[in-house]
Structure 1
Amino acid sequence: MRFLKILSLAAFLALAAMLAADSGGPKDPPKIDVKKDDEKKPEPKIDSHDDTLLRRANIATDGPALVDFLKKRILPESERSEVEQMVRRLGHANYRTRELAMQELIARGISSVDVLRTYSLPPLVKGGSVASFDLELLRRIDRSILSIYERDVGAEVVGAVIRVAADKKSAGLVEALIGYLPFADNDALLDELRFALAKNTLKDGKANAALVSALTDRSALRRATAAEVLARAAYAGHKDAIRTALTDPDPLVRFRTARALAFAQQRDAIPTLIDTLADLPISIAWQAEDFLLNLAATSTAPTVSMGNDKETRAKCKDAWHAWWKAQGDKVDLAKLEETPRLLGRTLVVLLDQNTILELGADNQPRWEIKTVVFPLDAQLLGEDRVLVAEHHANRISERNLRGDVVWQKGVVAPLVAQRLANGNTFVSTDHQFLEFDKNGNETMQINLGGNGLGDRKILKAMKLPNDEIVCLRADARIVRYDKNGKELHSFPVNIGLRLYGGRIHMLPNGRVLVPQNQEGKVLEYDSQGKVIWETSIPSPIAATRLSNGNTLITSMDPNIGAVEVNRAGVHVWSYQHSSNTRVTRATRR
């Protein structure tokens, strides 16, 4: 409520400023000291080098040592039975036996976690003392896993090991990377392993033998990754072996292979990819659907959305097969774009503290700017600039990491600031869409009726790559406009409280994420206004879809801050500021 009151005051001040302005439109704010790029004082040192991270963790940075580090995290198949026996002893009748088994498992470290997680519990026998031992086994499995992770170096350090090792190209590296795949316990590490393998696929023009051998590994994840990497880098030399993966019994292998072959412009792989819609785990199946929706961006995609039940998923699969049969020959696979790699860095806006900062993968600030004025939107530009919509300062500013203003444009009460691919800056107020070139010259102005719009005022907006504009209006509608301001399409949404500022995130497939503040939900609507996904979180204010398929959400509740949830709604990352202030915006790169 405090947020709404502040914005009400802002609206009054904005109206007063507009009435006082000449007819030429909004004026630039008072002249301030804009720092030129040649006025150099040292930028804040950003310690992001992986070598430094490894030294802090006391890990040697030479290639052989890094390969050895990875190998120690892999459980050899020859030792799996031994570890399973240790886990079994966690439920032994003798207390001393249970304690020793737990100590041995913890001492083995991360390599034992896979067995602990996948161990098949013995049948629970009711009566006597057997049941209590089974419960003790469960309890000790959980305690063992927790203790191992508490003692481990953490995913960020492991990611640094993988990246540095990939560049060192030491003997045994590819074998270690492939071996570690089933033991990487999050998507970010799996991505790092794939990128590292891609860097080391070829040697003297030939595919690494260990990678080719992994096509027939007993692990589906190893087979899938090997097929994916080889299809992109060495398809011609291993065509038959790679295409065999299209008939693999595991749908993950078929999907990853088909997707990689699509990027290699092998059109006959698309039907195989479509088939996986019906049998992939739901936590992965969305990737197949998103791929197809992006593939169909220039045509009419099926309106059937994939659900969780078998019947709906089968209908979705059939609809996509019909689409491919009717329109597949018009699809240009050469225009497929790779999913951008996430670096794990999060741009965070602390509205109440007039602060913007960027977190590293360790959730620690890499840099911080404390001189912005009521920032409702922010966008990182390259490595060392940030664009900010400073609502109460009536301006858009571009700043370096010291906070110096290197470019600015006066706009009354801006809600959105978006740097476009052509270098222009798109801006939204509650009643206008504006665009400025790099010199601050206005190249577009669309007025939606001035301050008399009432419930049709703009709450959030975004300019799309095709020059259309999408916005969330106060009348609870998602509206798309063409580049001239003509309304093209709209549908009603449920939003609860009308909270101004920031972007509404429309995905390339036309779906849109809408925070529902009052009911504590984030809803994903398809292009026709049908809710196809939702997740619960108290008082959400902004949501954006990440390239890994997860959703990054910020909340007006300071006890929530920012969270990342996967498709199942499970929180996989979170951040709260040490001062317990609200985190109002967050984006990831």
Structure 2
Amino acid sequence: MNIFSKGLLLLMMSHLFFVNQGITFQPDLSPINAKEIRHSFFIAGPNFTGIIGEDGEEIWDSGKKGARDGYVLKNGNILICWADEVREYNKKKKVVFTYSRAEKTMELGTAVRLSNGNTMITESGSNPRIVEVNKKGEVVKSVPLKPDTDNIHMQTRMARKLPNGNYLVPHLFAFAVKEYQPDGNVVNVFRTDLADLGGREAENWPFTAIRLDNGNTLVTLTHGNKVVEFDANGKVVWEINNSHVKESPFVDPCGAQRLPNGNTVIASYGAQKGIKLFEVSPDKTLVWSYDGHRVHHFQILTTNGKPLKGTPLK
């Protein structure tokens, strides 16, 4: 198969992927450079919340700004979290699930669809907690959190449920990622104010925490402008920051995703211009970047026309 045929096949696969989501676009039939990385991705951001195609075009727009978290689900629906509510859109852009905060002073920060069909959501406020909500929007489980601050906006960000049933939760002002059991008991803590990371003066506020397949935990440290990987004992085994990348793309990194090839994609939420989203290899080489809309969190969907396989590590 020559390079043109391979390129055409990849683009057809990409087209079919988006058609399954009720999204259509005209494919570019020009050959693909084998060395060029092209991603399509979902953005939860302050100015745009939707899907960007591999050519940088806006494929889908939720019509509501300021999203914090979100997933393109396996069935093609899109689950999105704003501070005031969570919505799920079907392929026809109809809202098929909603969950709203109970008080105006509360902030919702995370929305994850669980394997049992329930939705996990974080609530920051006077009684910070994780809730699991059924399809009717009813709370069926509640897990109290210990963010170590009354500052609602800085209590909690991207929490995720682990395969063992526990919850991995970053707490910004606590300088800690805590692992909670379903009863709210903390069984593990990853400190982000370590001396080797610059201490508290570095403002290494943990934002996104991801449990990797090897058991390590990847964490974005937003004001600290770095991303680190901890082993099971809380030791930093990998770190990347602006000193490692000549483009200096770290500006309040918030979202992150570890790709199946081992590369890491990072969102520079604070960037007003220039690079907003970028991919680095394990040896800390910048291999891809996006300079369009600002990005709070995201999900890489395809690479060169091929959908990513498995559960996204984000």
TM-score of the two chains, using structure 2 as the length reference: 0.72
Q: More displaced, 439-448 or 491-500?
A: 491-500
2:246 pairs with 1:551? no
Structure 1 counterpart of 2:180, one-letter code: Y
Shift of 1:44: 6.4
Structure 2 counterpart of 1:185, one-letter code: K
- Using CA pairs below 8 Å that are at least 6 residues apart, which structure has the higher relative contact order? 2
- Pick closer, same or farther for the CA change 1:449–1:359 going to 2, 3 Å: closer
- Pick closer, same or farther for the CA change 1:383–1:444 going to 2, 3 Å: closer
Alignment of 1:372-451 (within 5 A): 373-382=65-74, 384-391=76-83, 394-400=84-90, 403-411=93-101, 412-430=106-124, 431-448=128-145
- Pick closer, same or farther for the CA change 1:350–1:402 going to 2, 3 Å: farther
Structure 2 residues without counterparts, runs of 5 or longer: 1-20, 194-199, 242-248, 302-314
Equivalenced residue count is 255
Alignment of 1:182-193 (within 5 A): 184-185=34-35
Say whether the 8 Å CA contact 2:206–2:220 is kept in structure 1: no
2:158 pairs with 1:463? no
Shift of 1:453: 4.8
Structure 1 counterpart of 2:283, one-letter code: A
- Pick closer, same or farther for the CA change 1:486–1:384 going to 2, 3 Å: same
Say whether the 8 Å CA contact 1:425–1:437 is kept in structure 2: yes
Aligned match of 1:370 in 63, 66, 91? 63
SS at match of 1:459: coil
Match of 1:350 in 2: 45
Aligned match of 1:566 in 281, 284, 287? 281
Shift of 1:45: 4.6
SS at match of 2:81: strand
Alignment of 1:490-509 (within 5 A): 490-494=189-193, 496-497=202-203, 503-509=208-214
2:174 pairs with 1:475? yes
Structure 1 residues without counterparts, runs of 5 or longer: 1-42, 58-152, 156-183, 189-342
2:276 pairs with 1:582? no
Alignment of 1:40-79 (within 5 A): 45-47=23-25, 52-54=27-29, 57=30
CA distance in 2, matches of 1:395, 1:486: 27
Shift of 1:428: 0.8
- Pick closer, same or farther for the CA change 1:390–1:344 going to 2, 3 Å: same
Cα deviation digits, residues 239-280 of structure 1 (max 9, x gap):
xxxxxxxxxxxxxxxxxxxxxxxxxxxxxxxxxxxxxxxxxx
Match of 1:35 in 2: none
Say whether the 8 Å CA contact 2:168–2:179 is kept in structure 1: yes
2:52 pairs with 1:359? yes
Say whether the 8 Å CA contact 1:367–1:401 is kept in structure 2: no
- Pick closer, same or farther for the CA change 1:367–1:487 going to 2, 3 Å: same
- Pick closer, same or farther for the CA change 1:450–1:576 going to 2, 3 Å: closer
CA distance in 2, matches of 1:541, 1:564: 14
Match of 2:230 in 1: 525
TM-score of the two chains, using structure 1 as the length reference: 0.40
Structure (1 or 2) with the larger CA radius of gyration: 1
- Pick closer, same or farther for the CA change 1:465–1:479 going to 2, 3 Å: same
Say whether the 8 Å CA contact 1:434–1:445 is kept in structure 2: yes
Say whether the 8 Å CA contact 1:499–1:541 is kept in structure 2: no
Cα deviation digits, residues 503-527 of structure 1 (max 9, x gap):
4222133322222333422111112
CA distance in 2, matches of 1:451, 1:489: 15
CA distance in 2, matches of 1:546, 1:449: 30
Structure 1 counterpart of 2:117, one-letter code: G
CA distance in 1, matches of 2:265, 2:88: 24
Shift of 1:476: 0.7
Alignment of 1:273-312 (within 5 A): none
